Amino acid sequence: MPGGLPARNSIAAEPYFQENANIKYIIDTYLPVAKTMSATGGGTFPALNEVDGDGFLMSLMQAIWQGQPIAEPAAAAQSHLEEILAD
């Protein structure tokens, strides 16, 4: 687990983490005050599920990878995204 930080305090207490000065410094200094990115977001973005899970962006990427002309797939993706965000 080179460079990884432990997810539990019991693991952080193990010699692997305590004997590495750099990792120990991070554990002692930053982890007590660290927050996840979502903690600062002030809520969720419900439309993200539809954006990420719908598949329209994957269709756009496939069209790009296949070398198809981009205008039509991009317009369709943009239209679909605007529809999702308008709700």
pTM of this structure? 0.46
Residue 69 has pLDDT above 80, yes or no: yes
Domain boundaries, the chain: 9-34, 42-86
The pLDDT of residue 53 is: 80
Amino acid of residue 52 = D
The pLDDT of residue 37 is: 66
pLDDT 10s digits, 6-54:
888 999 999 999 999 999 999 999 988 887 766 666 666 676 777 778 8
Predicted confidence band of residue 1 (pLDDT cuts 50, 70, 90) = very low
